[in-house]
Amino acid sequence: MQIAILTLDGFNELDSFIAAGILNRMKGQGWQAHITCPEPEVTSMAGVTIQRQKPLEFLAEADAVLVGSGVRTRDYAADAVFLARIRLDPSRQLIGAQCSGTLLLARLGLIGDLPACTDLTTKPWVMEAGVNVVDRPFVAHGNVATAGGCLASQYLAAWMIARRASPQDAEEAIRYVAPVGEKAEYVERAMAAVNPFLTVTNAAA
């Protein structure tokens, strides 16, 4: 499993790094999550500058893609030239978006009027794009999932692991990162969020 975590200038650190950390717990099974950016360097909303691991073109090659959010996502979503560079295939890839990343998926035509999640700031813009925004942390429709709220990145990671490995692997990944003394509660909450959306079998994914 090669996973692209789309990380744009002005990105939210929690979205990209939490998901990357959890997904890379699967390295023993050959998984790799890569910070994927259109520019060689991007700077977060808090001023942290990082170097990309993969270029934007990697999105088309990856087995799964997570789209993070950030303070400039609305600008990227309005940039037709940028959107034309993004190649995603929900028939083959698992695709997830976090907060304002949902706006990008909407602009790419991957959500339509299906229920989707986003953050409260982005909600009006996503609704303008014709998306039915729901007050939930996570929803998925087939191979496309959305999450709302920075810490909901754990749900996107758990969903991907459960879909392409097993629910047990997802539980172990969440248990590893959960606070000591609260591991059972964190695992239960994460799996309660994603379990209703695991009806598509791994073989059909």
In this prediction, what percent of the chain has a pLDDT beyond 70? 97
Is the confidence at residue 37, as pLDDT, over 80? Answer: yes
pLDDT > 90 fraction of the chain, expressed in percent and rounded: 90
The 10s digit of each residue's pLDDT in 140-183 is: 999 999 999 999 999 999 999 999 999 999 999 999 999 999 99
Answer whether residue 202 shows pLDDT above 70. no
Strand partners, 36: 6, 54
How confident is the model at residue 112, as a pLDDT? 85
Q: Side-chain half-sphere of 98: how many Cα atoms within 13 Å?
A: 31
- Mean per-residue pLDDT for 13-19? 95
Judged against a pLDDT cut of 90, whether residue 200 lies above it is answered with no
Long-range interactions of 84-88: CB distance < 8 A, separation 24+ = 85/38, 85/56, 85/57, 86/56, 86/59, 87/57, 87/59, 87/60, 88/59, 88/60
Q: Which residues contact 135 (CB under 8 A, 6 or more apart)?
A: none
Is 189's pLDDT higher than 60?
Answer: yes
d(CA 129, CA 136): 19
Report yes or no: 158 and 21 within 8 Å, Cβ to Cβ: no
Question: Where are the domains positioned within the chain?
Answer: 2-197
Reply yes or no on whether the pLDDT at 192 is more than 50: yes
Q: For 66-122, what is each residue's pLDDT tens digit?
A: 999 999 999 999 999 999 999 999 999 999 999 999 999 999 999 988 899 999 988
**pLDDT over 80 (residue 136):** yes
Helix (H) or strand (E) holding 42: strand 41-43
At a CB cut-off of 8 Å and minimum separation 6, what does 86 contact?
56, 59, 104, 108
**The pLDDT value given to residue 205:** 41
86 with 108: CB under 8 angstroms? Answer: yes
Non-local (6+) Cβ contacts of 152 within 8 A are 98, 117, 137, 138, 193
* Residue 70 · residue 9 · CB < 8 Å: yes
Asked if 130 and 165 count as a contact pair (C-beta separation under 8 A), the reply is no
Average pLDDT, the chain: 94
Instruction: Tell me the C-alpha distance between 59 and 75, whole Å.
Output: 19
In terms of CATH, what superfamily is 2-197?
A: Class I glutamine amidotransferase (GATase) domain (3.40.50.880)
Q: What is the pLDDT of residue 41?
A: 98
> Mean pLDDT, to the nearest integer, of 16-41?
97
